[in-house]
Structure 1
Amino acid sequence: MPRQILSTLPEKIDPRWATLLVIDVQNDFASPGGAFHRTGEDITMAQEILPRLVNLVARARHCQVPIIFIGAIYSTNDNRYLSDVFLHQMKRKKSGRYFEVPVCVPESWGAELAPGLEPRPEDTMIIKHRYSAFLNTDLELRLRSQGIRTLLITGVSTSVCVESTARHGHFLDYYNVIVGDCCADYRKNVHEDALQRLDLHYGEVANAETVIATWKSAGR
């Protein structure tokens, strides 16, 4: 017998089967002095979402929604994680990043989560080496073993790792709720275009205030 379709936001984000993903909110992507900031990207949006995201994480913990932090790790010193295809694309488009300016090197400040997002012992931390948080990680195994049906997705950047993870999750039959004002990109139009694609094809876009209010109205 098919499982019940979760058709409303309260059904989708019920703490019994929802989890919160925080994707790549790391210093190199989101903080002053990080690799993207130093190579000319506008991190204003990433900085603006941080207080809202920290508040959402706190509320999710209060509601006993599992928190999964996703972090990217790369290394150009020995190309441990970076293929010729990946490096070629970076060299074409990324203003020296990953070459002259390393990004998210293991055990570096740049790879650490942005201030305010320090994981707690009960949280999960997953390391990835490509845009999708599912690719070559144990994310799906963890979700299946916990009976998760819905991914509340936040992070940086909206058009790359957030969108890649949401697409992948949709293909694996998870409900996606993308918390749009807890996602950030380096250009507003790119962020907005990504949210439109996600809402049309791969999930539902909501804002943090609505998510929190929904939990509160359910007595969470």
Structure 2
Amino acid sequence: MLATHNRIGEDLMAEQRNDNYQGVWDGRLGFGNKTALIVIDLLQGYTTEGAPLYAPGVVECVSEMHELLAAARKAQMMIIHTQVRYNPHTFVDGGVWTKKAPVLKSLVEGDPSTKFCEGMEPLPEELLITKNYASAFFGTSLSSTLTAAGVDTLLITGCTTSGCIRATAVDACQYGFRPLCVRECCGDRHPDPHEANLFDINAKYGDVISKQEALDYCSSL
């Protein structure tokens, strides 16, 4: 009985939330003229049980990514991968973030957690960006690279939804790109922050689209 009552309460809150945002924070951007796929930090540290960074939702994300990555490659879409690396002696390049989240200190060259997940390894012709903070834009050449390539839309995938995905989506919007987050191809440690951040991204900064929408787009190229 308690479970039923809680479910009704959650459904009511979701309905109130959607009513509150509808017509105010529900615009759509859609695809622009040229799209790139960005695969954020799909490293083994997030998919290895027992590892400090392990996030069950990322395991599901990787399983969904194989099909989308293959489709983007077939469509000859620009593909960008990101990874995180720190100086293992000082972590000075991690600044305050590695003080706030010391778990990130496992992301140093040579640590098994920094290897790409099986099947997610960048091809030689695909761009690999090394970053030190959440956003793939912060302190990197990503914005200039996309602009020079004529890209105006970014298909955002990877992990984690509440961290690097959200930060990248917000910066993409602020730099003038259309951020399109692929729901099934983003993952986090827990469903609650995953869903909350997708909801917020979709409301304020970009579009959250289904994997099928992304696959259909790739097929159309």
* 4+ runs deviating over 6 angstroms: none
Mapped contact 2:56–2:190 kept (Cα < 8 A): no
Counterpart-to-counterpart distance in 1, 2:108 and 2:159: 17
Rg larger for: 2
Question: Aligned-residue CA RMSD in angstroms?
Answer: 1.8
Q: 1:64-101: per-residue Cα shift (whole Å, max 9, x none)?
A: 11110011112453224122x2243225xxxxx24xxx
1:108 Cα deviation from its structure 2 partner: 2.5
Pick the aligned partner of 1:46 from 55, 58, 75.
Answer: 58
- 2:150 matched residue in structure 1: 147
- 1:209 matched residue in structure 2: 212
Alignment of 1:1-220 (within 5 A): 9=30, 11-12=31-32, 17-37=34-54, 43-83=55-95, 85-90=96-101, 97-98=103-104, 102-216=105-219, 218=220, 220=221
Mapped contact 1:76–1:82 kept (Cα < 8 A): no
* 3-state SS, counterpart of residue 81 of structure 1: helix
Q: Which amino acid aligns with 2:71?
A: R
| Residues matched between the structures, number | 194
Mapped contact 1:178–1:204 kept (Cα < 8 A): yes
Mapped contact 2:57–2:188 kept (Cα < 8 A): yes
Counterpart-to-counterpart distance in 2, 1:176 and 1:52: 19
Q: Which amino acid aligns with 1:179?
A: V
Mapped contact 2:29–2:207 kept (Cα < 8 A): no
Structure with greater helix percent: 2
Unaligned runs of at least 5 residues, structure 1: 1-6, 38-42, 92-96
Q: TM-score, normalised by structure 1?
A: 0.82
* 3-state SS, counterpart of residue 155 of structure 2: strand
Higher alpha-carbon deviation: 25-34 or 171-180: 25-34
Q: Which amino acid aligns with 1:129?
A: N
Could you say if the C-alpha distance between residues 171 and 30 of structure 1 is closer, same or farther in structure 2, counting changes exceeding 3 Å? same
Counterpart-to-counterpart distance in 1, 2:86 and 2:148: 28
1:176 Cα deviation from its structure 2 partner: 0.8
Mapped contact 2:44–2:113 kept (Cα < 8 A): yes
* 3-state SS, counterpart of residue 101 of structure 2: helix
Q: 1:140-192: per-residue Cα shift (whole Å, max 9, x none)?
A: 12111101100000011001001001101100010011001100011101000
Q: TM-score, normalised by structure 2?
A: 0.81
Mapped contact 1:70–1:128 kept (Cα < 8 A): yes
Counterpart-to-counterpart distance in 2, 1:86 and 1:155: 20
Counterpart-to-counterpart distance in 2, 1:146 and 1:77: 36
Counterpart-to-counterpart distance in 2, 1:8 and 1:196: 15
1:21 Cα deviation from its structure 2 partner: 0.4
